Structure 1
Amino acid sequence: MNVAGSVWAISLVGLCALLLFDLAVVGRRPHEPSIRECVLWILFYVGLAVAFGMGLLAFQGGEYAGQFFAGWITEYSLSVDNLFVFVIIMARFAVPRSAQQKVLLVGIGLALLMRGAFIAVGAAAISRFEWVFYLFGAFLVYTAVRLAAGGDGDDEEFKENAFIRWVRRVLPLSDRYNNAHMTMVVAGRRLLTPMLVVMIAIGTTDLIFALDSIPAIFGLTQEPYLVFTANVFALMGLRQLYFLLGDLLNRMVYLSAGLSVVLGFIGVKLFLEALHNNDVPFINGGEPVAWAPEISIELSLAAILGTLAITAVASLIKSRRVARRELVGPAAAPQPPSPGRDRVSD
């Protein structure tokens, strides 16, 4: 896929302009968005991603369009998993609802910069060393096993990393928020608010998630342009999705299991691709493995969509059953007959 420098420039400027516009709106009027506002923004961003994919289909062909859609859907699903961590962090630091939108936007912006760096490093490594696919595949399979063993994540708890603990020690921090502001004046002294710590927590946590998402999308496409744009579109609208989903996130009890299947599938795909293009001396004498099949992008897209659809339906069914059981539990307990009332036989 040949992408002209002008196309890269237009894409970068356009996507950054969207993020800066969003940042300007939030910075001027931090608030908790309404359901209507969230839905409209999400539809706008999803529409942009679909339009971009259709443009790829028209100008680059179905193969690259399919790679983009598979990568975008996978990254979007992993981003939804990020929202679980966002919810935990917001609750851990008791962030006011009106300030959460700004925290999310800054955190997502930092995540975009981090993922951009990972994409550049990953693309350079892949172009020079085919054996990197073995490492990516092994890492994704390990991540899949870890996610599957982690269950539904009900016991997940945010733990402050070393960098956050260091920030708490060396910086003058207040224990109170000042709306969405980063500083406040207390007794004539200017202090940083907990907003700084929250943003650092989200940024560093998203860096960890990038370690999963970047190898995953490189398993679906090796085109840096598609990898970058799929990640950007997956992050856009994430903060609106945070407010829109709300309690629904807690009902996606099988999301980790579904993502483990997706990541495991992509990990196996990477192994097969590495074997198909093998140049490692101690594997098959450094020659490609002839029997290693290639998994088409169409099959990959179908497997990803099918797995996520089954995951969502199964999660909602289980959550509904649990809610119904909790609701009817006390009422289902047998009641003693009222004294003095005759029993009526059938």
Structure 2
Amino acid sequence: MEDISETELLQRIFPLLDTSGSALLGPGDDAAVIAAPDGRTVVTIDTQVQDQDFRLRWANGYETTGFDVGWKAGAQNLSDINAMGAEATAMVVSLTMPGKTPVGWVEGMARGLDTAIRELGGGACSVAGGDLSRGSEIVVTVTVLGHLAGRAPVLRSGAMPGDVVALAGTAGRAAAGFALLESGHGMDTLDEDQLALVKNQCRPLPPLWAGPAAAEAGASSMIDLSDGLVRDSGRVATASGVVVDLDLAAVDRLAAPLQSTAELLGANARDWALGGGEDHGLLVTFRADKELSEGFTRIGSIYAGEAGVTMNGDPLTITGWDHFAH
């Protein structure tokens, strides 16, 4: 990067990004102009920091590509818009990096961002602009705007006793992939299923169809599973003033595909399913009289009581991811 100018870099990456869609005015001016289809705008922001959220080279030898980071930066933010029952319309991206960062890595990041939007089902979302800066490490911050298409936003605070807890997407797979990356098991020693787990960590697959679908079906609450099933269920429990009781058999079904990897690493597959974050699945509650649509799996129930998370009525000690906790 230190061998080319900011202008030259922008000339390289703009052609790699879809800047159409809802952007009435895209990159090139001091700010973008974005359409707000129903007069309301949903906004989210998330950051990836080198050696905090990803490593350029992992313990098992895997080298994180710019494509990986671009994909994940897009996916995790699109997932937050999804969790409100909204649809993404535009994103802006801030990239800070050392001068020694290869230009090809940055081009790969742009491709990953654009590909994630298209392949995950980001619809009319366009990359409307952003910012470049120089720093001691790579930091990628993405802001995504969305619209509700005439629907009410689905909040964390709407769950009520008697509701069903459902999941769209996966839980625990990204945590298993993280454990493999941090292990001494090189990529050339992993089987097809384990390579898929690594991919779940590096390029998550949020079910972007599920948020609007759940909202249309009358979901009472929703949350993106970014920090783990227990921690994010706890956020719904606290916001709604209820008990989220997870079903042990359902959790074990989530853990079953992870069992052989857990045995390889001396880990507990159920712990990954309960506490592992970054799958970006969607946790949804529905009234009990609602039939679950295809793609949603029942994994628990809502009860009255002191806000918290249990499993088959028993308290859980797993907490999930926290940026600042030990």
The verdict on a shared fold, with TM-score over 0.5 as the criterion, is no
Q: RCO higher in 1 or 2 (8 Å CA, sep ≥ 6)?
A: 1
Name the TM-score, length of structure 2 as normaliser: 0.26
Identify the structure with the greater helix proportion.
1
> TM-score with structure 1 length normalisation?
0.25
User: Which is higher, the Rg of structure 1 or of structure 2?
Assistant: 1
Report which of the two has the higher share of strand. Answer: 2
